[in-house]
Structure 1
Amino acid sequence: MSGTSMDGADAVLVDFSGARPAVLAAASQPFPDTLRAAFGALQQPGEDEIHREALAANALAQVYADCVAALLREARIDAASVTAIGAHGQTIRHRPGLYDGIGYTRQSQHPARLAELAGIDVVADFRSRDLAAGGQGAPLVPALHHALFGSEAETRVACNIGGISNISILPAAGPVSGFDCGPGNALLDYWIGRHRGLAFDHNGDWAASGRVDAALLAQCLAEPYFSAAPPKSTGRDLFHSGWLEARLAAFPQLAPADVQATLAALTAEAIARDVRSSAPDARRLIVCGGGARNAFVMARLAQALPGVAIETSADYGVPVSQVEAIAFAWLARQCLMRLPGNVPTVTGAAGPRVLGAIYPR
């Protein structure tokens, strides 16, 4: 899995033979700066996009193959022991048609090249089938969230905070639902990169050093996406540097640390609003993804959701960096077994669909 934070790839080796998915090994591979910059540039229209995207896809296949090789070394097994790789690719555009009726999503990668390099079958292109059925193509993890964190005794909400944040509503009884809340780490990473040259705000320390500006927070929360009814999904197509700079134009004197604090508060408040409106009986919020390591965001969530226990997936035996990768291993397995991978009540698709395309080794 490589998500909207665009910092690297996370891989897990998962055994699905038991009642719950069992992670046997994990590995990660950072993106070279040139690849991260290339994917960042592809988020917006530019010159010679087809050529630049093809080169980035080739480079990503090598990153993925290196990550798989590291995973196999960690697990001390060979490629022949692995049924398949579930490879999400790097999202460079996500336009599910929420406002303009233009429905498409693009995940850059070269799965045939990955199959050649790794010597393992590859399953890729998980989102387009759901879009073809009238869905958003995202989020695709709620079914796995339910398997890992659901309870028959209480309503829970699982929340992934990657570049974009999303929630899965896991009722004690009834259908699972979920949607993207808004920016997770994407704007936070952009802002600290611009002002301090860092890839991310470690532990939310820089945000904690600033002051939340109520007026800027209110202006950000006025974005129509936040009030749109689900099913809905979003990405860097909406929440990018230009979106932020447009809102900062009215606050020229605001200190950079105060902007960081406000962006962290935006991440937390967008999630908390959705939990309050869509899961008012939730007893627990179980957070995963890189944002689970941001103490400032986690504290803001606790402040905004009194009476809701704020936990992380690690409290349930699943490291916060592994949940998304486990989900795409599960989706690959569903595809190979010709079983549906989407949840229509989440994505808005016309019905259950088998997701993914298979590239034999």
Structure 2
Amino acid sequence: MSGTSHDGIDSAIVDWSMADGLLTGTILATGERPYPGGLRARIVAALPPGDVSLGDVSMGEVCALDTLIGQEFAEAARSAGPADLICSHGQTFFHWVSGGQVLGTLQLGQPAWIAERTGLPVVSDVRVRDVTAGGQGAPLVSYLDLLMLSGIEGRSGALNLGGIANLTVAGAAIAYDTGPAGALIDAAAPPYDKDGVLGAAGTVDEGLLEVLLAEPYYGKAAPKTTGKELFTPGYVRRALAGRAEIARPDLVATLTALTAETVAAEIRRHELDTVVVSGGGVRNPTLMGMLRARTTARLVPSDELGVPSDAKEAIAFSLFGWLTAHGLPATVPSCTGAAGPRVLGTITPGSGPLVLPEPLAEAPVAIRFL
């Protein structure tokens, strides 16, 4: 998969098995394939605030990106190692939200290229089935999160810090996007603030932070989802309009504090004791330090539970592919807002006849990783 940071393709090969409701995932390999510079630049140019209806992004470019991203995903899958089935998330280009309801979602990366080059069947277009059932189409990773959190004592949650931050709360079984994680930081310090160096060198502008915290999204009730449709590079420029010029380190420090405060506010609200953290933000010590200063919860990298933090979402999509192949739903309605659980995705056959395993009658109730 490739997430909202759109810097490359994360992959994971997982051998899944289940006995007596316990799902075991043996992680055989993980990896990352950066997008070629030219392709990444085209992806960035096509993302919001580009508007195809205004001629900013042509349908020819959409077609080209669907093909080129599909070819890159095919190479990532082919080089990752042997497998039986592939689940491809693709690259999200738009999440259509109106009046708090998700009306559609678009991921590019034509799966037929993956099936053609690997010979394997491919599960793809994973989010839209939840949307058609009235859900947000996200955070789908909540399914894996709740299985991971089932053995943790006290009030626990799982936090992913990618381009957008999302939080899953066990017990209440809810999940939602809290707001930006790296999206605005990356826009201010492209391609990203490596090791949080710029953020650490700057001083938080409390006035600007107050303006940014007034964003109405933070006050909306869950389930809710957001993305770069809202938190565009222009979002910060508009907040800066009419204000004195701000040095880049101070801007990055302020945006880092914005992520830390909006995430910490939700952790405090749910009175969480333990939060399992994953995503690229785990590697930003400035962000993690600001987060720790704002909450008393114990922050545990998902690596300590056997799930590499950089590969967690790729591992989750491997699980979704396995569930789909076995006829099992991979959504939690209380997390996405859907009318009920749904089996996700469409399947593109590989080079041979499409042969799926016998459907399983019961879903997993616990998970472990080896």
Fold shared per TM-score above 0.5: yes
Which one-letter code corresponds to 2:113 in the other structure?
A: R
TM-score (norm 2): 0.89
**2:335 pairs with 1:346:** yes
1:310 Cα shift? 1.5
Q: Deviations over 1:115-143 (max 9, x none)?
A: 11121110011111111111111110011
Distance 2:92 2:134 in 1: 19
Aligned-partner SS, 1:285: strand
Whether contact under 8 Å (1:142, 1:168) holds in the other structure is yes
Change (3 A) 1:153 1:92: same
Q: In structure 1, list runs of 5 or more residues that go unmatched.
A: 73-77, 194-198
Q: Deviations over 1:231-251 (max 9, x none)?
A: 100000000111111001133
Match of 2:32 in 1: 28
Q: Deviations over 1:163-190 (max 9, x none)?
A: 111011123xxx5211001111111111
Q: Identify which range, 89-98 or 107-116, moves more after superposition.
A: 89-98
Distance 2:38 2:152 in 1: 47
Distance 2:325 2:265 in 1: 38
1:49 Cα shift? 2.5
Distance 1:98 1:30 in 2: 35
1:54 Cα shift? 1.3
Distance 2:2 2:294 in 1: 29
Whether contact under 8 Å (1:10, 1:325) holds in the other structure is yes
Out of 169, 177, 180, the position equivalent to 1:180 is 177
Distance 1:56 1:34 in 2: 11
Change (3 A) 1:150 1:156: same
Aligned-partner SS, 1:96: strand
Match of 2:358 in 1: none
Distance 2:250 2:79 in 1: 40
1:283 Cα shift? 1.0
Match of 2:203 in 1: 211
Aligned-partner SS, 1:335: helix
Aligned-partner SS, 1:3: coil
Distance 1:184 1:26 in 2: 23
Aligned-partner SS, 1:93: strand
Aligned-residue CA RMSD (Å): 1.4
Aligned-partner SS, 2:189: helix
Match of 1:243 in 2: 235
1:98 Cα shift? 4.2
Whether contact under 8 Å (1:95, 1:234) holds in the other structure is no
Match of 1:68 in 2: 77
How do 1:39-50 residues align onto structure 2 when only pairs under 5 Å count? 39-43=43-47, 44-46=50-52, 47=55, 48-50=57-59
1:64 Cα shift? 1.2
Distance 2:342 2:122 in 1: 19
Match of 1:97 in 2: 98
Aligned sequence identity (%): 38
Which one-letter code corresponds to 1:89 in the other structure?
A: G
1:355 Cα shift? 1.0
Out of 209, 217, 220, the position equivalent to 2:212 is 220
Distance 1:191 1:93 in 2: 21
Match of 1:75 in 2: none
Match of 1:293 in 2: 283
1:102 Cα shift? 6.2
Whether contact under 8 Å (1:212, 1:265) holds in the other structure is yes
1:347 Cα shift? 0.7
**2:142 pairs with 1:150:** no
Match of 1:274 in 2: 266
1:148 Cα shift? 2.5
- Give the 4+ runs in structure 1 shifted more than 4 A: none
Q: In structure 2, list runs of 5 or more residues that go unmatched.
A: 351-370
Number of aligned residue pairs: give it. Answer: 341
TM-score (norm 1): 0.91
1:95 Cα shift? 1.7
Match of 1:87 in 2: 88
